[in-house]
Amino acid sequence: MSANKNSKLKNWLLEQAIVKRTQEFLRSKTPWGIDGMNLYDVLRFFIMGLVNGSVSIRSAAISFRLLVAVFPAIILLLSVLPYTPLKAADVIDFLRDFFPGETIMLLKQTIDDLLDKTQGTLLSIGFVLTLIYASNSISAILTSFNASYLIENKGKGWYSILISIVLFIVLILFMGLAILLIGFSGKLLTHLGSEGYLLGETVIWLNVVRWLLSLLLIYFSVSILYHFGNPDT
């Protein structure tokens, strides 16, 4: 009974003049870069993929794997701290602004241990676990692309595992370069300009270039996931 009602409602909507005009308009437009398909077919396939592709389930699986990868990454980050020039007193002074009263002193012993004692074994374990869990997150993304409702050619398991490790390293490099360009190169250019090493217009153009490069790095980081998700599609 419910199916008949839905079918009647669908037929009624398709018979409406505004719906027909919208369909004709969409069929008359061809998206850039997609030969042989009109905009109506593209939107139809996209909606079919969302409805029938279990997007919410796959996104939940990816989110869970990303969350699991956070904890070994924190271990790795804390294990690297002793190899940095940071001083315990400087860290305590910095954190004092975020803690009420003298509560920061409760963490003093922990901060001293983190910065003064090297943990080679913990560093190695943190690196290995981060690589495994982070590559699993990339593998989950690739698997989700291969499990798309509209894709018939499925990727092989060994391929996803191998390529996910390589992609993780590439993504770390791309995102690291983007962060350096956005967060630190601006101050460097400003300093060079104030010291007279660069002219005012040169600083402006270099700032434009660094933002363009940062956006391109982020764009390529996303694009390679789509490419390697299913390279035959």
Environment class of residue 46 by beta-carbon count within 10 Å: exposed (0-12), middle (13-18) or buried (19+)? exposed
pLDDT digits (tens, 9 = 90+) for 111-167: 777 777 777 777 788 888 888 888 888 888 877 776 655 555 555 567 667 888 888
Structure tokens at 126: 């943190």
Sign of CA dihedral 159, 163, 165, 168: negative
What is the pLDDT, as a whole number, of residue 153? 52
Residue 107: pLDDT band with limits 50, 70, 90? confident
Task: Identify which has the larger pLDDT, 214 or 122.
Answer: 214
Of 37, 65, 64, residue with least CA distance to 150: 37
When pLDDT is averaged across residues 205-229 and rounded to a whole number, the result is 84
Q: pTM, whole model, 2 decimals?
A: 0.58
| Greater model confidence, 34 or 217 | 217
User: What value does the mean pLDDT take over residues 46-70?
Assistant: 76
Closest of 190, 127, 197, 136 to residue 168, by C-alpha: 136
Q: How confident is the model at residue 92 (pLDDT cuts 50, 70, 90)?
A: confident
Q: Can you tell me the mean pLDDT for 64-77?
A: 83
Please name the residues in contact with 182: beta carbons below 8 A apart, sequence gap of 6 or more.
210, 211, 214
Question: What proportion of the chain, given as a percentage, has pLDDT over 90?
Answer: 0
* The predicted structure's pLDDT at residue 2: 53
Q: What was the pLDDT predicted at 147?
A: 63
